[in-house]
Amino acid sequence: MLSRNKSKKIFLLYSLIAFGFLIFLSVMLLNALKSRHLPSLYVKDSSKAERGNIISADGFHIATTKKLYKAVVNTNYIDPQKKELFVELFSIYSGMKQSEIKKRLNKRKGVVVLSYDITEKEAQYLKRLGYELRKFNVFVERKNSSTGLRTLHGLSIIESGESREYPYGNLLTPIIGYTHKAEEDGYTRIKGIKGLEKRFDGELFAKQDGTSHGPRDVNSYIILNKDSFTKPSINGLDVKINIPVTLQIKIEKMLDVMKADIGAKEVTIAVMNSENGNVIALASSNRFLPKDIRRSDYDSLNSAMIEYSFEPGSVIKTITFALLLDKGLINPYDLVNGHNGRFQIGKKIITDEHKFDWLSAENVVIHSSNIGIAQLAQKLSGSDFYEGLVHFGLTTKSTNDLIYEKIGSVPSAVRLNNEIYKATASYGYGMHVNLMQIMRAYSAFNNNGRMVSPRIVHSLIDEYKREMILPFEESVQVIKSSTATRMQSILIKTVNEGTGIKAKTEGLIVGGKTGTAHMVEKGRYVNKYNTTFAGFANDATSKYTIGVVAIEPTKSQFAAQTSVPVFKKAVDILIEEGYLKPNIIE
Residue of 384, 394, 385, 392 whose CA lies nearest to 478: 392
| Pairwise CA distance, residues 540 & 515, whole Å | 28
| Pairwise CA distance, residues 242 & 563, whole Å | 24
pLDDT at site 75: 87
pLDDT at site 36: 47
CB 241 within 8 A of CB 54: yes
Ranges of the chain whose pLDDT falls below 70? 1-6, 8-9, 11, 13, 27-45, 145-148, 213, 216-229, 585-586
Q: Can you give the C-alpha Rg of the chain in angstroms?
A: 37
Q: CATH 3.90.1310 in the chain, residues?
A: 161-217
The CA–CA distances, whole Å, from 262 to 106, 503, 517, 531, 550 equal: 57, 16, 16, 11, 9
Q: Where are the beta strands (DSSP E) in 314-424?
A: 335-337, 342-345, 348-351, 358-360
Q: What share of the chain is helix, strand, coil (3-state, %, to 5)?
A: 35, 25, 35
Residue of 507, 518, 505, 514 whose CA lies nearest to 534: 514
| Pairwise CA distance, residues 492 & 468, whole Å | 38
Rounded (10°) angle between helices 83-94 and 120-135: 160
Residues written for the chain: 586
CB 194 within 8 A of CB 304: no
pLDDT at site 350: 93
Q: How many C-beta neighbours within 10 Å does residue 61 have?
A: 16
| Pairwise CA distance, residues 81 & 263, whole Å | 65
CATH class of the domain comprising 68-95+107-159: alpha beta
Beta partners for 271? 281, 546
Q: CATH 3.40.710.10 in the chain, residues?
A: 245-287+301-576
Looking at residue 258, the DSSP 8-state letter turns out to be H
The three-state DSSP-derived secondary structure of 121-183 is HHHHHHHHHHHHHHHCCCECCEECCCCCCEECCCCEEEEEEEEEECCCCCCCCCCCCCEEEEE
- Backbone CA torsion sign across 278, 281, 286, 291: positive
| Pairwise CA distance, residues 520 & 414, whole Å | 24
Phi and psi (nearest 5°) for 215?
-65, 150
Phi and psi based region of residue 268 (left: phi greater than 0; alpha: psi -120 to 50; beta: remaining): beta
DSSP states along 426-473: HTT-S-BB-HHHHHHHHHGGGTTTEE---B-EEEEE-TT--EEEPPPP
pLDDT at site 26: 73
Q: CATH 3.30.1390 in the chain, residues?
A: 68-95+107-159
The CA–CA distances, whole Å, from 124 to 45, 74, 159, 213, 329 equal: 17, 20, 11, 22, 75
| Pairwise CA distance, residues 179 & 440, whole Å | 29
CATH of domain 245-287+301-576: 3.40.710.10
| Pairwise CA distance, residues 233 & 495, whole Å | 56
pLDDT at site 113: 87
Looking at residue 364, the DSSP 8-state letter turns out to be H
CATH of domain 161-217: 3.90.1310
Beta partners for 165? 64
Task: Identify the helix (H) or strand (E) that includes residue 366.
Answer: helix 361-366
pLDDT at site 38: 44
pLDDT at site 23: 76
Residue of 136, 191, 130, 190 whose CA lies nearest to 158: 130
Beta partners for 184? 187
